[in-house]
Amino acid sequence: MKDFFPKPDSPHIRRTSAAWQHPVYTESQMNAITIAHRSARTTSDRVALTLVRILRFGLDLATGYKHDKAVALSKKDPKFANQKYGMSERKYMIRNIFLESVAGVPGMVAGMCRHLRSMRLMRRDNGWMETLLEESYNERMHLLIFLKMAEPGLFMRVMVMAAQGVFFNAFFLGYLMSPKTAHRFVGYLEEEATLTYTREIADMDAGKLPKWVGMRAPDIAIDYYKMEEGKQTMRDVLLHIRADEAKHREVNHTLANLDQNEDPNPFVSTFTNPEKPHPGKGIEHLKPTGWEREDCI
């Protein structure tokens, strides 16, 4: 681990804290995260799912991640399979950094679109914007955490810049055309993110990523997640990040179920019956496939 971000020269400032405080996740909540898939019910859902599948295929190709083939081959020839398809710490880190550098785009674009729309049409936003911007902030924190463990080279930096240039504009146009499809798309993307981190944790537990075992979490992660003493390892970081991805999955699938013009954001609302489980900031009542409109609005 190295000091990737040099301290700024600011003698008057002691500390700059995070604008958005991260909710505290308990260990049992994080262990309860499961992979999930919301079935595509409408044409808009199917468009979103197809786009995510195409992107996943492209990314797997680019980062040498071939889970299905690896599983098939490992049944026949485990040693060769590991040589050919095994994910090392390095390969995972490349994938994580690239993914996270892109993952922070949709929330910012969606938040921006709703901000501008609210002013343009002189309408209330009903509380969506903050959740969307907070999501992009959270994704950027994931990136900063990983950057404490690896320093991308020139090729990676160029790839990240190119990807951002294309993805920002594509998502922006997509959001203008159909915000519902755009949120569904992010919901499906986050299904994939939850899956990838679940595999990463499983590979670590299976002893395939020995360099990460017992590794101390970067300070930036300990501060941001308020990680308890004794639970400040790389595995704990991955548990937190996976839980965040599952949260984004829930938020975006839910937002895709809502009326984009009228409905308030249930994740920042107070409910008439607070006893009944409802959407909120934390992950205590996490719904992997999102809340249906009838159940929360």
**Binding positions for Fe ion, rule: CB under 5 A:** 100, 103, 139, 142, 190, 193, 245, 248
Quote the least distance from Cβ 183 to Fe ion, whole Å.
13
Quote the least distance from Cβ 190 to Fe ion, whole Å.
5
| Residue appearing with tokens 């994931």 | 142
Q: Is 228 left (phi over 0), alpha (psi -120 to 50) or beta?
A: beta
- Cβ atoms of 288 and 34 closer than 8 Å: yes
Quote the CA–CA distance of 190 and 253 in Å, as a whole number.
9
CB-wise, 189 or 204, nearer to Fe ion?
189
| Residue appearing with tokens 């009944």 | 276
**Burial bucket for residue 73 (CB in 10 Å: 0-12, 13-18, 19+):** middle
Q: Is 248 annotated as a binding residue?
A: yes
Tokens of 200: 């990463």
Quote the CA–CA distance of 145 and 133 in Å, as a whole number.
19
CB-wise, 95 or 142, nearer to Fe ion?
142
CB-wise, 193 or 296, nearer to Fe ion?
193
Quote the least distance from Cβ 66 to Fe ion, whole Å.
22
Quote the least distance from Cβ 258 to Fe ion, whole Å.
19
Q: Which residue is nearest to Fe ion (CB)?
A: 142
Quote the CA–CA distance of 206 and 25 in Å, as a whole number.
24
Q: Is 183 annotated as a binding residue?
A: no
CB-wise, 117 or 236, nearer to Fe ion?
236
CB-wise, 73 or 150, nearer to Fe ion?
150
Contacts for 226 with CB less than 8 Å, ≥ 6 apart: 22, 24
Quote the least distance from Cβ 251 to Fe ion, whole Å.
10
CB-wise, 70 or 150, nearer to Fe ion?
150
CB-wise, 114 or 142, nearer to Fe ion?
142
Quote the least distance from Cβ 227 to Fe ion, whole Å.
17
Q: Is 190 annotated as a binding residue?
A: yes
Quote the CA–CA distance of 193 and 252 in Å, as a whole number.
13
Quote the least distance from Cβ 188 to Fe ion, whole Å.
11
Q: Is 292 annotated as a binding residue?
A: no
Three-state DSSP state, 76:
helix
Task: Give the 3-state DSSP-derived string for 13-69, with helices as H, strands as E and coil as C.
Answer: CCCCCCCCCCCCCCHHHHHCCCCCCCCCCCHHHHHHHHHHHHHHHHHHHHHCCCHHH
Q: Is 284 annotated as a binding residue?
A: no
Point out the annotated binding site for Fe cation.
100, 139, 142, 190, 245, 248
Point out the annotated binding site.
100, 139, 142, 190, 245, 248
